[in-house]
């Protein structure tokens, strides 16, 4: 019977299970990510060689739709990006129905997408078990803007702009294969009637927050920031904000820059 149970466990039947618990409801890029990992033994004793955690997100990439030689069309296809991967060197044997708990503190990468719009971010946890299907757990995350970006969003909101659309789209020239694009529309304030829309792309590192802006004054929409940005040189409106600034100072600097250059 024991051999039979081990055979079933190798196919994932009656095997150990893993569950990751996030003590925080909302996470901030660049800040610690505490996790608690619970391992529940199954119907047979199993050796766990490692615990793996992978931070993932979804982004869109334009690919040829292949609808014929006379028609060259593209469509946006969802892709998965591995933002970060961690391994916990925990080798242990989990007994029948035994429970084990582990804790770890990870660093959430700066450019983890903010989970508004269609942005999706999740944490995959798996147990490394030799010659067996690895038990897995998937936890959807809520990610809020880091302080500098939050200061920029707050300033834009106070100036009468509202977020209309947010997308993670494929891009070249960055550490990640995508950027997150925020589209704003002025509904009141100094830019109402002056702009049709504002598009913002942000990239954060330890030293600074880099921002690219595209303003549309026309009655017809833009072809999109990314179409002009990627592969065709940098946008004309680019601003670098020092990480030493406060969120309020960052917001004020963005408003001053936009008012002066647009």
pLDDT in tens, 227-250: 554 444 334 589 999 999 999 999
Q: What is the pLDDT of residue 187?
A: 95
Higher pLDDT, 202 or 173: 202
Q: What is the pLDDT of residue 71?
A: 62
Residue 167 sits in the same domain as residue 186: yes
pLDDT over 60 (residue 1): no
Residue 176 sits in the same domain as residue 256: yes
Residue 16 sits in the same domain as residue 113: yes
CATH of the domain at 125: 2.60.40.640
Higher pLDDT, 81 or 236: 81
pLDDT bucket at 6, cuts 50 / 70 / 90: very low
CA proximity to 204, closest of 29, 68, 13, 62: 29
Residue 126 sits in the same domain as residue 256: no
Q: What is the pLDDT of residue 65?
A: 75
Q: How far apart are alpha carbons 184 and 164 in whole angstroms?
A: 5
Q: What is the pLDDT of residue 7?
A: 33
Residue 10 sits in the same domain as residue 116: yes
Q: What is the pLDDT of residue 232?
A: 40
Residue 22 sits in the same domain as residue 96: yes
Q: How far apart are alpha carbons 8 and 11 in whole angstroms?
A: 5
Per-residue pLDDT reduced to its tens digit, 8-60: 334 344 478 999 999 888 999 999 999 999 999 888 888 889 999 999 999 99
Residue 169 sits in the same domain as residue 46: no
Residue 118 sits in the same domain as residue 189: no
Domain range spanning residue 121? 2-140
Number of Cβ atoms within 10 Å of the Cβ of 60: 16
Q: How far apart are alpha carbons 163 and 153 in whole angstroms?
A: 9
Cα separation values, 213 from 14, 231, 242, Å: 54, 16, 17
Residue 92 sits in the same domain as residue 179: no
* Contact of 58 with 80, CB cutoff 8 Å: yes
Exposed (0-12), middle (13-18) or buried (19+): which is 99, by Cβ within 10 Å?
Answer: exposed
Residue 70 sits in the same domain as residue 133: yes
pTM of the model: 0.83
Higher pLDDT, 114 or 9: 114
Work out the mean pLDDT of the chain and round it to a whole number: 85
Q: What is the pLDDT of residue 3?
A: 38
Q: How far apart are alpha carbons 99 and 18 in whole angstroms?
A: 10
Quote the tokens at residue 162: 């509202």
Quote the tokens at residue 38: 């619970």
* Contact of 155 with 178, CB cutoff 8 Å: no
**Sign of torsion over alpha carbons 240, 242, 247, 252:** negative
Cα separation values, 183 from 67, 201, 202, Å: 30, 9, 12
Higher pLDDT, 192 or 220: 192
Per-residue pLDDT reduced to its tens digit, 139-180: 999 999 999 999 999 999 999 999 999 999 998 888 899 999
């Amino acid at each position: 019977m024991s051999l039979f149970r081990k055979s079933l466990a190798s196919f994932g039947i009656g095997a150990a299970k893993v569950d990751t618990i996030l003590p925080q409801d909302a996470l901030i890029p660049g800040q610690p990510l505490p996790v608690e990992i619970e391992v529940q033994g199954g119907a047979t004793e199993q050796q766990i060689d490692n615990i793996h955690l992978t931070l993932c997100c979804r982004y869109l990439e334009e690919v040829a739709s292949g609808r014929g030689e006379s028609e060259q069309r593209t469509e946006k296809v969802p892709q998965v990006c591995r933002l970060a991967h961690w391994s916990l060197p925990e080798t242990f044997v989990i007994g029948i129905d035994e429970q084990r708990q582990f804790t770890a503190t990870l660093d959430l990468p700066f450019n983890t997408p903010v989970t508004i719009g269609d942005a999706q971010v999740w944490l995959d946890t798996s147990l490394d078990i030799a010659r067996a299907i690895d038990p897995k757990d998937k936890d959807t995350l809520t990610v809020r803007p880091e302080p500098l970006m939050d200061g920029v969003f707050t300033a834009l909101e106070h100036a009468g702009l509202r977020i209309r659309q947010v997308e993670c789209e494929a891009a070249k020239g960055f550490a990640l294969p995508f950027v997150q694009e925020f589209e704003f529309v002025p509904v009141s304030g100094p830019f109402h009637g002056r702009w049709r829309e504002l598009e913002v792309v942000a990239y954060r590192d330890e030293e600074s927050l880099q921002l690219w802006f595209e303003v549309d004054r026309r009655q017809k929409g833009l072809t999109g920031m990314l179409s002009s940005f990627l592969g065709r040189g940098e946008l004309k409106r680019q601003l670098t904000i020092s990480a030493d600034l406060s969120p309020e100072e960052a917001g004020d600097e963005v408003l001053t820059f936009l008012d002066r250059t647009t």
